[in-house]
Amino acid sequence: MLIKHHDSSLIKESQVTDPALYLERRRFLRVSAGLITAAAVADLLNPVEAYAAAATLTYRPAKPLDPPDELTPYKDVTTYNNYYEFGTDKEDPAEYARDFKTAPWSIEVGGECGKPGTYHLEDFIKPYALEERIYRLRCVEAWSMVIPWVGIPLHRIIKHFEPGSRAKYVEFTTLYDPRQMPGQRRAVLDWPYVEGLRMDEAMHPLTLFAVGLYGKTLPNQDGAPIRLVVPWKYGFKSIKAIVKVRFVENQPLNTWQKAAPDEYGFYANVNPHVDHPRWSQAKERRIGDFFKRPTQMFNGYADQVASLYTGMDLHKYF
């Protein structure tokens, strides 16, 4: 079995932008986060038909990022993806998820909670107002992006389902449908993709169920119709195309931990001091940049999340 995932050497030459284009792009990107106007978005996105085709969402805009940061262009967010259900190359998901059917969609909620059941996506998200959250996404492969998500804080959804005292963790599962997901026809991973969070991580105000980005519905390659976003953890925790949410007593065995337990753990907190066995995690390459930048503890969200891990040996619980 060939696991080529998470090899930081996979960055392609085409990612190193021609200097002229690079400067051009920089100019566009100096848009303050809170001011994502239609015109600014059009500039950032550049002619991507997919964007025009996506449905516009109504949401509360994010505050400008502090410190300021540049958004990763829509084009990069939607053509440089990890989504093994649609192939292992970065450009595969954009191509092979094009016709993926995201409606109708239902989500099964189960385990230790007061309101188990199978819910239509519309009903699942209806009770909540959408909000924009601009987060850094740091992949375990040592690249990163800044993405303006639109979604619902997960704690609101969790409260609604009334988890019981035995619910110590939440487990999430991606759709299993090899007819539509060509990557699932090969045993690259143990399908379906599974992820999990400790209950306090799931209830943390930063944790999001995203249904959109750049103000529109999620592109298929980014996890439509609904995906998790946990900005202080490596990207593989942010599971896409969720069909199942279970409240459980025991720590779930997440897919990447199952595939390579020496390389990927359950917690997967971004940590520049704990290297991957095959590469350093001290630095990362922001997509669109040429030079690497230092990786920040908890991906820069330490003041908000470090207290979740007080007393834990982060080398052991990687």
Residues with Cβ within 8 Å of 97's Cβ and at least 6 positions away in sequence, in order, are 83, 86, 219, 220, 221
- Answer for the pair 246, 196: CB distance below 8 angstroms, yes or no: no
Closest to ligand MTE by CB, 36 or 255: 255
Residue nearest to ligand MTE (CB): 235
Interacting partner of 84 out of ligand MTE, Mo ion, none (Cβ under 5 to 8 A depending on kind)? ligand MTE
Work out how close the CB of 40 gets to Mo ion at its nearest, in angstroms, rounded to a whole number. Answer: 28
Work out how close the CB of 162 gets to ligand MTE at its nearest, in angstroms, rounded to a whole number. Answer: 27
Closest to Mo ion by CB, 33 or 218: 218
Whole-angstrom Cα distance, residue 198 to residue 175?
22
Work out how close the CB of 310 gets to ligand MTE at its nearest, in angstroms, rounded to a whole number. Answer: 27
Residues that bind ligand MTE (CB under 6 A): 81-85, 137, 139, 174, 193, 222-223, 235-236, 238-241
Interacting partner of 83 out of Mo ion, ligand MTE, none (Cβ under 5 to 8 A depending on kind)? ligand MTE
Whole-angstrom Cα distance, residue 133 to residue 34?
10
Interacting partner of 85 out of Mo ion, ligand MTE, none (Cβ under 5 to 8 A depending on kind)? ligand MTE
Q: How far is CA 202 from the centre of its chain?
A: 14
Place of tokens 């093994």: 84
- Answer for the pair 228, 242: CB distance below 8 angstroms, yes or no: yes
Work out how close the CB of 240 gets to Mo ion at its nearest, in angstroms, rounded to a whole number. Answer: 11
Closest to ligand MTE by CB, 111 or 192: 192
Work out how close the CB of 85 gets to ligand MTE at its nearest, in angstroms, rounded to a whole number. Answer: 6
Closest listed residue to residue 94, CA positions, set 111, 78, 114, 118 = 78
DSSP 64: P
Whole-angstrom Cα distance, residue 100 to residue 172?
20
Work out how close the CB of 82 gets to Mo ion at its nearest, in angstroms, rounded to a whole number. Answer: 5
Place of tokens 């930081």: 8
Closest to ligand MTE by CB, 59 or 86: 86
The answer for 288, left when phi > 0, alpha when psi is -120 to 50, beta otherwise, is: left
Work out how close the CB of 16 gets to ligand MTE at its nearest, in angstroms, rounded to a whole number. Answer: 19
Closest to ligand MTE by CB, 212 or 223: 223
Residues with Cβ within 8 Å of 243's Cβ and at least 6 positions away in sequence, in order, are 105, 106, 107, 108, 173, 174, 175
Closest to Mo ion by CB, 100 or 236: 236
Residues that bind Mo ion (CB under 5 A): 82, 139, 235-236
Interacting partner of 96 out of Mo ion, ligand MTE, none (Cβ under 5 to 8 A depending on kind)? none
Closest to Mo ion by CB, 59 or 236: 236
Whole-angstrom Cα distance, residue 107 to residue 87?
24
